Amino acid sequence: MEFTVKSYRFNPEIDEKPYYKEYVINDFPGMTVLNALMKVKAEFDGTLSFRRSCRSAICGSCAMKINGITKLACKTQVSAEIEKFGIIKVDPLGNMPIIRDLIVDQEVFFDKIKEIKPYLLGKTDHINDDFKALKEGEKIKQPVYYKTEFQNLTGNNDTPNCILCECCYSECGGVVANSKYLGPAALAKLYRYSEDPRDNDKNGSRLVNGSKPAGMFDCVHCQACEEFCPKGISPVKVIVRMHEKAIKNSITFSKGAKHIIGIARSIQETGRLDEIKVAVDSVGISGILNDLPVALGAGLKGKMPPLRLKLIKDMEDIRVAFKDLNLEEKHD
Amino acid sequence: MLKHDVIIVGAGLAGLRACVELRKRGIDAVIVSKVYPTRSHSGAAQGGVNAAFDENDSWESHFFDTVKGSDYIGDQDAIEILTSEAPGNILELQKMGVVFNRNDKGGISQRPFGGQSFPRSCYYADAVGHMMLHGLFDNVLKYNTKILYEYFVTSLVVDNGKIGGVVAYDIKEGRFHGIAAKSVLFATGGYGQVYSSNTNALINTGDGMSVAIRADVPLMDMEFVQFHPTTLKSTGILVTEGARGEGAYLLNSLGVRFMSKYAPKAMELAPRDVVARAEQTEINEGRGIDGAILLDVRHLGKEKIMEKLPQIMQLSIDFEGVNPIYEPIPIRPGVHYSMGGIKTDNNGRTAVEGFYSAGESACVSVHGANRLGGNSLLDTIVFGRRAGIDMAEYIKNVDFGKFDESAVRRDEEIFENIKKSNGKERHGLLKAELQEDMRKNVGVFREESLMKKAIEKIEELKERAKNIGVDDKTHLFNTDIVEAFEFKNILLIAEIIARGAIMRQESRGAHYRNDFPERDDDKWLKHTVAKLNASGGIDFDFSPVKITKFKPQPRTY
């Protein structure tokens, strides 16, 4: 079958602006988008630039937008794309500066990984450790860790399976809203270490640091990270788990945590969402004043929330529900 | 010019492991890697890493299995280090944050692997390489290590037998740099891209080995190329030996478990050279299916497949269109690993003072003529660690060697000349021709007449390579020029493999000669050592095999 690869092209060294270039090539059975790009490069146009390494969906090099959707090129079948779109249109990842063609600058992404301290805290780095070369007949004793202690780290779709391919980051609504936001991969890594039984995080510093501005409470819950992860991991799910964990551990200084608590309190007290009160709870009066122009604008367009809320009729049910929730917390 | 006490080239497991040793001692070590570290091919290792932990197992048994697996050409002093330090090294990694699956007693879960007399392969589902690579990368970040991302090393700078540093090409900026150092480690991995059907990443182009031999550092045992028995039929993507460790069958077109004919005791869990040859024989004798045979895991059941082999299930679906829960997987042997490499001692030292190598790029030799599954990850961490510690000691008492900066200009010129050339040869197409020729003529079954054809092809390609032109004349992230240089590297490696394989007139481990089907200990119980001569040809020499405990015996399974 003959088909068209249409690639985003931009080499700032020689091009004034980005453009698309089309290549018509033949497929072979089982051809992936990466195979197609390699064929173009080897046979027709050596200037087409992209990253690639393992070609088996484990190294995370070849993430790109394929017909508008972020995917690993090595894992994407040409035939399936052609069937749906009639073409293979490729673009560089989103949310990252473009260096050239399909190659983006990953520095900020990896800086964010580093920022969350992706390693066990506590003293693990002694030089004269108890490392041992065994003598004849000698055996070594292992430290004991039970399966349950690693239960959130050993499932097929658990966070240690992340390959740092940046698919989630490329599609992340949180990064669109705030380019400083750590993003799903870094936060999944934060979760991975916070769930490790060997992590010696005495003061809960992981969740404290993760709660800072541009941290886990900047997630906008768009679910894109889960949708686009080629490894079936759901960063948003573990981000929400970390929200809960932070609040349960009274790490509530962040706007995000206050917002969640405010919503819960409003519903507990009135059965309704008292938006004004929630706003005061999350950002305080000074925060409200900062946002006043937005609020006034909304008011002028008839989007002002009511100033006083009536209790709903079935408040007793709400109280029962909250009582149950509290009970659950105690079991946790 | 950049200057660091230590340069680590390559950021797979061996490089990162060495780096951790250096950085935790506060040493100024820089990582230079042509890709971001987590893109390194160590991450694709699936099945396991061997160490004797169980009370009914012993490191001595692991020691013997490895010597036997090597077909008695592995150096026994080195294998003793590998196996006696194995459990300690695994526990070190565990302390650093690497997660392994657990057994019911709270220890590390272990599975059987080929050629091992006890289930001693520690694993993290079927992605243990990924787990170890990311765990070590995280530790390298912890120590605030400087990393020169996407720098491609083109030359070693050596003066009077002592290392001075490296020449590296910054791919992003398109600029050459000299980097001076007291000590340099090459942990640059293998050369799987020499062959067309291989399990390796596209980046595995034997760069470190080529750069080393051009700097007069000898390579050892390069004719021993491992063919992995189970790679996906259409793409060559790896299907872990762990599948057979968990109980998978190999079936021919008649539905027969043919391994009973070739290794009646070990069956599917015979070493890789034995299984690969058995498969190829079945295929050659007409009992294959469209050039492949079948790997059947169906009887393990959905639950076990999902729990223990999730990655290979997904790879089979995505790349072969087969769901192994319901259908057997079509597989065939494919090039997987280089037993040979830069000749080192047990601390990673080479013939050049201050220059080290570890991991697949090195040949200590612990794998001899055939590596056992689960021993390569072990090799990277044991000898990566040892190299790191030794370098830390070495640099204490030495000064920087002489760094002749004309080396930088020389490499710059090589690149500029390729760019200026109007040559019509495309490196991408030459590479494909070479790979296919090597597959056909220096493959699982070898014989002189075929290998001579390969040499003819290589000579032809060397001529044509003089006319390589590149489309991309720019500086910014020019992958075209990098690939052109990589092609020259794999072409050199191919020649060393082929010439070494012609010379070794016996069958041992992965090196099987139809015209010399027996092992010949009288003549060939020795390592081959390759060097470049003044005219660019390859000279061979030999070095003795170190035999300490186990006398060579017939090798049956």
Residue-by-residue DSSP string for A122-184: SS---SS-------TT---PPPP--GGGGTTTSSTTSGGG-----HHHHH-HHHHH-TTS--H
pLDDT surpasses 70 at A331: no
pLDDT surpasses 80 at B328: yes
A237, A270: one domain: no
Q: Using alpha carbons, list the distances in angstroms from residue B407 to B291, B356, B359, B401, B514.
A: 48, 20, 27, 14, 44
Q: Please check whether residue A140 lies inside any domain of the structure.
A: no
Q: Give the CA dihedral B394, B396, B402, B405, nearest 10 degrees.
A: 100
Nearest-angstrom CA–CA distance, B132 and B380? 11
Q: Does A214 touch chain B (CB under 8 A)?
A: no
Q: Using alpha carbons, list the distances in angstroms from residue A29 to A117, B234, B235, B321.
A: 44, 9, 10, 11
Cβ distance A139 to B81 less than 8 Å, yes or no, reads no
Listed residue (B260, B263, B255, B235) closest to B298, CA to CA: B255
Cβ–Cβ under 8 Å, residues B507 and B513: yes
A233, A319: one domain: no
Nearest-angstrom CA–CA distance, A118 and B455? 49
Helices A235-248 and A255-270 meet at what angle, rounded to 10? 70
Looking at the complex, report in whole angstroms how far the Cα of residue B261 sits from the nearest Cα belonging to chain A: 33
A214, A320: one domain: no
Domain span at B325: 230-333
Picking from B55, B320, B476, the nearest residue to A100 by CB comes out as: B476
Q: Please check whether residue B468 lies inside any domain of the structure.
A: yes
Q: Using alpha carbons, list the distances in angstroms from residue B121 to A225, B295, B374, B378.
A: 34, 20, 6, 10
Q: What phi and psi values does residue B240 have, to the nearest 5 degrees?
A: -55, 145
Beta bridge partners of B33: B149
SS3 content of chain A, % helix, strand, coil (to 5): 45, 10, 45
Give the domain-ending residue among A205, A222, A248: A248
Give the domain-ending residue among B480, B498, B515: B515
What's the pLDDT score for residue B178?
98
Q: Please check whether residue B236 lies inside any domain of the structure.
A: yes
Reading the block at residue B123, the tokens are: 């694993």
pLDDT surpasses 90 at A152: yes
State the pairing for strand pair B445-446/B512-513.
parallel
Cβ–Cβ under 8 Å, residues A188 and A162: yes
pLDDT surpasses 90 at B12: yes
Nearest-angstrom CA–CA distance, A205 and A199? 11
For B204, how many CA atoms within 13 A lie in the half-sphere containing its CB? 28
Picking from B106, B130, B479, the nearest residue to A144 by CB comes out as: B106
What's the pLDDT score for residue A295?
80
SS3 B167: strand
What's the pLDDT score for residue A150?
96
pLDDT surpasses 60 at A327: no
Cβ–Cβ under 8 Å, residues A35 and A43: no
Q: How many domains does one find in chain B? A: 2
* DSSP 8-state secondary structure symbol assigned to residue B292: B
Q: How many domains does one find in chain A? A: 3
A240, A279: one domain: no
Listed residue (A230, A233, A188) closest to A56, CA to CA: A230
Question: Which residues have C-beta within 8 Å of that of residue B300, sequence separation ≥ 6?
Answer: B246, B247, B248, B308, B309
Q: Please check whether residue A7 lies inside any domain of the structure.
A: yes
Give the domain-ending residue among B515, B532, B547: B515
pTM (two decimals)? 0.96
Task: Give me the mean pLDDT over the B144-169 stretch.
Answer: 98
What's the pLDDT score for residue A332?
37
Domain span at A228: 107-122+146-248
End-to-end Cα distance, chain A = 58
Residue type, B410: R
Beta bridge partners of B191: none
Cβ distance A198 to B97 less than 8 Å, yes or no, reads yes
Task: For chain A, give the mean pLDDT.
Answer: 92
Q: Please check whether residue B165 lies inside any domain of the structure.
A: no
Q: What phi and psi values does residue B208 have, to the nearest 5 degrees?
A: -60, -45
Give the domain-ending residue among B333, B363, B395: B333
B183 Ramachandran zone, left/alpha/beta (phi>0; psi -120 to 50): beta
* pLDDT tier, B6 (very low <50, low <70, confident <90, very high otherwise): very high
A71-117, pLDDT tens digit by residue?
999 999 999 999 999 999 999 999 999 999 999 999 999 999 999 99
Picking from A107, A124, A140, the nearest residue to B95 by CB comes out as: A124
Listed residue (B510, B529, B527, B513) closest to B71, CA to CA: B510
- Residues of B119-148 as b/e, b for ≥16 C-beta within 10 angstroms? bbbbbbbbbbbbbbbbbbbbbbbbbebebb
Residue listed under structure tokens 């992958």: B479
SS3 letters for A28-55?
Answer: CCCCEHHHHHHHHHHHHCCCCCCCCCCC
Listed residue (B489, B487, B524) closest to B505, CA to CA: B524
pLDDT surpasses 90 at A202: no
Give the domain-ending residue among A205, A228, A248: A248
State the pairing for strand pair A103-104/A98-100.
antiparallel
Q: Does A169 touch chain B (CB under 8 A)?
A: no
Q: Please check whether residue B89 lies inside any domain of the structure.
A: no
Q: Please check whether residue A141 lies inside any domain of the structure.
A: no
- Active-site amino acid positions of B: 272
A306-326, pLDDT tens digit by residue?
777 778 888 888 888 888 776
Among A23, A53, A190, A233, most B C-beta atoms within 10 A, so best to mutate, is: A53
What's the pLDDT score for residue A129?
65
Task: Give me the mean pLDDT over the B65-79 stretch.
Answer: 98
* pLDDT tier, A128 (very low <50, low <70, confident <90, very high otherwise): low
Looking at the complex, report in whole angstroms how far the Cα of residue B386 sits from the nearest Cα belonging to chain A: 12
Cβ–Cβ under 8 Å, residues B266 and B114: yes
**Residue A45's domain is classified under what CATH number?**
3.10.20.30
Listed residue (A151, A148, A169, A147) closest to A160, CA to CA: A151
A215, A280: one domain: no
Q: Please check whether residue B271 lies inside any domain of the structure.
A: yes
Looking at the complex, report in whole angstroms how far the Cα of residue A165 sits from the nearest Cα belonging to chain B: 9
Q: Does A178 touch chain B (CB under 8 A)?
A: no
Among B24, B103, B110, B202, most A C-beta atoms within 10 A, so best to mutate, is: B202
Q: Using alpha carbons, list the distances in angstroms from residue B40 to A37, A264, B139, B180, B322.
A: 21, 47, 16, 24, 27
Task: Give me the mean pLDDT over the B163-184 stretch.
Answer: 98
What's the pLDDT score for residue A328?
44
Tally: H helices and E strands in chain A: 13, 7
Residue of B nearest to A47 (CA): B472
A256-313, pLDDT tens digit by residue?
999 999 999 888 888 888 888 888 888 888 888 888 888 888 888 888 777 777 788 8
Cβ–Cβ under 8 Å, residues B168 and B147: no
What's the pLDDT score for residue A275?
85
Picking from A101, A146, A196, the nearest residue to B97 by CB comes out as: A196
Cβ distance B60 to A51 less than 8 Å, yes or no, reads no
pLDDT surpasses 90 at B291: yes
Beta bridge partners of A98: A104
pLDDT surpasses 90 at B154: yes
Task: For residue B483, list chain A residues with Cβ-Cβ distance below 8 A.
Answer: 46
Q: Please check whether residue A134 lies inside any domain of the structure.
A: no
pLDDT surpasses 70 at A6: yes
Task: For residue B386, list chain A residues with Cβ-Cβ distance below 8 A.
Answer: none
Residue listed under structure tokens 């990443």: B201
Cβ distance B141 to A153 less than 8 Å, yes or no, reads no
Task: Give me the mean pLDDT over the B505-521 stretch.
Answer: 98
What's the pLDDT score for residue B97?
95
**Residue B468's domain is classified under what CATH number?**
1.20.58.100
Q: Give the CA dihedral A143, A149, A155, A158, nearest 10 degrees.
A: -110
Give the domain-ending residue among A104, A132, A158: A104
B251-273, pLDDT tens digit by residue?
999 999 999 999 999 999 999 99
For the question of an ipTM over 0.85, the answer is: yes
Q: Please check whether residue B473 lies inside any domain of the structure.
A: yes
Reading the block at residue A307, the tokens are: 């100033």
Q: Is the peptide bond before B365 cis (omega within 30 degrees of 0)?
A: yes
**Residue B260's domain is classified under what CATH number?**
3.90.700.10
pLDDT surpasses 70 at B295: yes
Q: Please check whether residue A178 lies inside any domain of the structure.
A: yes
Residue of A nearest to B473 (CA): A47
Looking at the complex, report in whole angstroms how far the Cα of residue A257 sits from the nearest Cα belonging to chain B: 29
B424, B509: one domain: yes
Q: What phi and psi values does residue A218 have, to the nearest 5 degrees?
A: -85, 0
